[in-house]
Amino acid sequence: MTRKGFGLRAIAIGGFAAALMAAVPAAHAEDKVVVFAAASLKDALDAVNKACAADVGEPATVSYAASSALAKQIEGGAPADVFISADLDWMKYLSDKKLTKPDTEVKLLGNEIVLVAPKDSGVETKIEKGFDLAKLIGDGRLAMGDFKAVPAGKYGKAALESLGVWSSVEGKVAQAENVRAALKLVSTGEAALGIVYATDANAEKGVKVVGTFPEDSHPPIIYPVAQTADSKDKDTLAFLKCLQSAKAGALFKEHGFTVLTPSN
């Protein structure tokens, strides 16, 4: 195996264990809200968490990973008060198991998926039905989240299938444990192209956006939030309220998200 191939494998497989470990705080601080949030939210939610500290009493403890990994951790008893998923499926997974408080579930944010390349790449294309993605990738790899579980990967696969190009690139895909790991494969040049959220591309100076996938080529990208059924912290509802406030909305928009909830 080449060093480059080993690097891809290490991030896509070995990093998964690290993501799970990072997802679980060492202990649940009873006086702090514990939030499990999709990896793509990191920059925006870090800013929102800081801004909401005065409303809540102090900043929440936030753990970022793939929505799939976080949902499984909550199912396994991990001490989280709030879950923010990058798709509706993993929120439904927990709510169907009665692991969320349904009356707190809100569709919070929206996003887009884009095709990215390393910043110095000369790749250009128009994303449309039948576009020659395989030729653009060449002998390289297409980085994306695990398309069987990670929301960004699922959205990406759906878009490529809708556009009729999935079968031509499936064998070139380098799957990563979350969308930020896929982004890193592109920014470091280990992958020729990648499919990530528009907000991730905006946050990474090492990549450039080649094109945006048509909105109708994949299911709507929605980030729902909810309080977990086992939430113990008294400030959780205050945190959820602040997430839907005008000041939080402004910060989410600043980072490229679409705000789906009316401001409090």
Q: Is 152 annotated as a binding residue?
A: yes
**Overall size of the chain counted in residues:** 264
DSSP of 120-144, one letter per residue?
T--------TT--HHHHHTTS-EEE
What's the token pair of residue 110? 């929206």
Give the sign of the dihedral formed by CA 175, CA 181, CA 186, CA 190: negative
Contact 81, 228 (CB under 8 A): yes
Strand order of the β-sheet with 142-145 is 173-176, 142-145, 193-197, 113-118, 207-212
Residue 19 annotated as binding site: no
239: Cβ contacts below 8 Å, ≥ 6 apart: 33, 35, 52, 55, 56, 60, 81, 82
Residue 82 assigned to a binding site: no
Q: Which residues contact 18 (CB under 8 A, 6 or more apart)?
A: none
CA distance 21 to 23: 5
- How many whole angstroms separate alpha carbon 136 and alpha carbon 128? 14
Q: Is 259 annotated as a binding residue?
A: no
Residue with the two structure tokens 């910043």: 119
Is 245 annotated in some ligand binding site? Answer: no
Cα–Cα nearest to 160, from 218, 200, 209, 118: 218
- The 3-state DSSP class for residue 243 equals helix
**Bridging pattern class, strands 207-212 and 61-65:** unpaired
Annotated binding-site ranges for molybdate: 40, 67, 152, 179, 197
Q: Could you tell me which residues are annotated as the binding site?
A: 40, 67, 152, 179, 197
